[in-house]
Amino acid sequence: MSASGTATPVLADVILSPTSLTEFPAYWCEHPELFATISEGTTAEERMESVLRWFIATLKGQYTTRNEKMGSEKKPLNPVLGELFYGTWPDENGRGETILVSEQVSHHPPITGYYIANEKAGVVLQGHSGQKTAFSGTAINVKQSGHALLRVKPKDGSPEEQFLITLPKLRIEGLVWGAPYIELTETSAIQSSTDYSAVIEYKGKGYFSGKAHSYKAVLSKGSKHINTYEGQWTGISNIGSSKGPVFYDADEPKEEVTVKPVDEQGEWESRKLWYKVANGIRSGDYETAGKEKSRIENEQRQRRKDEQAANTEWPSWHFNHIDSDADFQKLVALMHDKTQPQTEDAYVYKG
C-alpha cells in the first residue's frame, strides 16, 4: 500500500525481478570460452559434444540466477515491443570478441529475438523465444516457444555445421511456501547437420541422481548410441555414469555480459527504459516502481492503438520475420522421433 492507503500498482519484490526478459539471451553466453571453442573440435563428434557441454553450461544462469541473487524466483519485467539489449564479452585468449543483439520482436505473443556471434571463432547463434504459462495445482507450467540455430565454421576446414536447439519446458514450484524456484521438465534436443544429436531429459529430486535439477543426455549419430551424460545442470555432471569422468562443473566462474553505462544508452535500450522501475524494486520503493511501470505499459498500449488507427506496424530494428526456414526444415527432418519445435518460422538477424 502507498502512503495514501491505495494499492501500489506493482507487485512486491517477492514477485517482480528488476530485469527485463529482453536481457535473458545474455545467459546463452555467460561462458564465452565454451561458446568460442566449439569450432576447435577436430571431429564432428567432438564438436557435437562441445555444443552439448556449452548448452548445459547455459542452464544454471538462465534458470537459477534469480534464486541465488534474490532468495527465490522472480517474475521478469515484460518487455515492450522494440525494446533492445546490446552486450559484449571481451576477447580472451585470442579467440575474439563475442557480441549480443537482443530485441523484443513481438508483444502479443511476447517473443524475443537474439543474435550472438564470435566471428573470429566462427560461431554464430540466432533464435527467438517466448513463454506460455498455465497454472497446475500449486505450480506454474511454462512452455517455451521458439528455437535456436547455431552455425559453426570448424577450424579444421570442414564444411560449416549447423545445430538446431529446442527449448526445455519449465515448472515453477514453491509457490505455496512463498519461495518459487524453477525445475526443468520433459525433454529438449540438439540436432546437428552431421546427423549427431543429443536428447536431454530433465527431472527433479528423486530421479537419476536423486537430486534437484537433474538431467540425462543421450548422444547419438542417427540410430547409433554414442554416449550418455548425467548429473545436475546446477552442479557436476559426468560422462557415462555418475562415477565417470567429469563432463561439466556448473561452479566454474561465469562472465557477466558487458553493457554500456545507462547514461550512454538509447531510450529503447532495456536498462535505460526500465531504470526507474528497476531502482524502485531494488530499493523497496514500490510506489515509484509501480508508477513508472504503469507509465511504460500505458505508452506501449497507446502506440499499438496509434498503429492500428494508422494501419501500420512497428518496424523491427534488427530482425526480419520469415514464415519458413530451409535450414530449420533440413535439421528437423533429421530429428526422427526426437523433441521437435512446433513452428518453423524464425526471426533472422539483418544487422
pLDDT of residue 302 exceeding 70, the answer is: yes
pLDDT of residue 154 exceeding 90, the answer is: yes
Give residue 71's pLDDT band: very low, low, confident or very high (50, 70, 90). low
Percent of the chain's residues with pLDDT above 90: 71
Omega into 159 within 30° of 0, i.e. cis?
Answer: no
Q: What is the pLDDT of residue 225?
A: 96
Q: Which set of grid coordinates corresponds to residue 106?
A: 513481438
CA angle 36, 42, 47 (to 5 degrees): 55
Q: Which set of grid coordinates corresponds to residue 335?
A: 530429428
Arithmetic mean of pLDDT, 312-335: 91
Query: Mean pLDDT score of the chain, rounded to an integer?
Result: 89
Give, in order, the Cα–Cα distances in Å from 219 to each of 53, 81, 291. Answer: 12, 38, 50
Q: Which set of grid coordinates corresponds to residue 287?
A: 510506489
Q: What is the pLDDT of residues 238-249, one digit of tens each?
A: 999 889 999 999
Give the residue carrying C-alpha cell 502507498: 2
Closest CA to 340 of 208, 189, 231: 189
pLDDT of residue 184 exceeding 70, the answer is: yes
In DSSP notation, 175-227 reads TTTT--EEEEESEEEEEETTSEEEEEEEE-TTSTTTSSSEEEEEEEETTEEEE
The identity of residue 307, as a single letter, is E
Q: What is the pLDDT of residues 7-61, one digit of tens each?
A: 333 334 347 889 999 999 999 999 999 999 999 999 999 999 999 999 999 999 8
Q: What is the pLDDT of residues 198-219, one digit of tens each?
A: 999 999 876 666 788 999 999 9
Closest CA to 43 of 196, 149, 191: 196
Q: How much is the pTM?
A: 0.91
pLDDT of residue 67 exceeding 70, the answer is: no
Domains of the chain (ranges; CATH) run: 22-249 (2.40.160.120)
Give residue 135's pLDDT band: very low, low, confident or very high (50, 70, 90). confident
Instruction: Provide the CA 13 distance to its chain's centre, in angstroms.
Output: 23
Report d(CA 77, CA 266) in Å as an integer: 19
Phi and psi of 64, rounded to 5°? -130, -5
Give, in order, the Cα–Cα distances in Å from 9 to each of 291, 294, 299, 303. Answer: 7, 7, 16, 21
Q: What is the pLDDT of residue 132?
A: 84
pLDDT greater at residue 300 or residue 73? 300
